[in-house]
Structure 1
């Protein structure tokens, strides 16, 4: 079963995501986290607004919003910055399926 990039980047409610991740970890299944969820998680950890986080990634807020909503891909420069901020490489380097 293949999952495409749009499905991976679709946001799910945080409580649902937590329950899903717990179930996957308990089952020993590899956890798949979307780029959008990983970016938003890291942004929230730093206590930054979307505008502030977008600027750090070298993006306009609107561009960042489109990435989080699965409408655009994360540019390579922003990918490098996101990695430097602690977003895991395996999440950032998901294949476009």
Structure 2
């Protein structure tokens, strides 16, 4: 995913950037926090997509770390019903995160 976004930026195709990014806390090649750090560097000076994080863990520490990024809109515990994602994208303020 990052490689694709980096290529879009390098090619000047910023209009092709997604509006939303949905990632799992445990990616196959890196963890979500590493992704978020690299993503933050990538989106400097461009309109930033909203990021939704999915996790099988209700870890408050992980949630707090992820939510420090201004572009992270939600930290959701799996399983998340598909219609819930639609609600998030529709712009309603819904949060399934542990407090």
More strand by share: 2
Per the normalisation by structure 1, the TM-score is 0.32
More helix by share: 1
Per the normalisation by structure 2, the TM-score is 0.32
Structure number with the bigger relative contact order (C-alpha 8 A, sep ≥ 6) is: 1
